[in-house]
Amino acid sequence: MILPLHEFSLAMQLVKVVERKANEMGAKSIIRIKVRVGLATTIVPEFLSEAFNVAKLGTLAEDAELEIEVEPIKLSCWNCGNEFEAEGLFSKCCLCGSVGGKVVSGGEVIVEQVELKVG
């Protein structure tokens, strides 16, 4: 298997973030992690999943399941301000037809929730 480097370093970061939380809560292990990946980022959800399966080895997240919710891109049209769901960053505004807009959602990767084994 070829590991995409970019997602691998993000997967390592993800493990670090959830392990910190698990330690804070005195958890024995991490059961499930829920992450929201915006489509207006450079992260490919499938690659993040694959990378996570390697990055988690030997950590509190070793048996954790990663659930990725893909967040669509929402743009605010540069021209008329209309907010619209877009397929990509060069999509046309559905009202005025001009290309592109400010990313109002889908531009981030958020660690939403963890499920921890505590007892």
Residues that bind other proteins (CB under 8 A): 5-6, 9-10, 13-14, 16-18, 21, 25, 27, 31, 35, 40-43, 78, 88-90, 99-100, 103, 108-119
In angstroms, give the least distance from the CB of 100 to other proteins: 4
Query: Does residue 68 sit in helix, strand or coil?
Result: strand
Tokens at residue 12, please? 């390592």
- When the beta carbons of 6 and 83 are compared against other proteins, the nearer one is 6
- The nearest distance, CB 80 to other proteins, in angstroms, is 13
Those residues with Cβ within 8 angstroms of residue 16's Cβ, 6 or more apart along the chain or in another chain: none
Residues 6+ apart with CB under 8 A from 104: 74, 75, 76, 83
Q: Which is nearer to other proteins, 17 or 83 (CB)?
A: 17
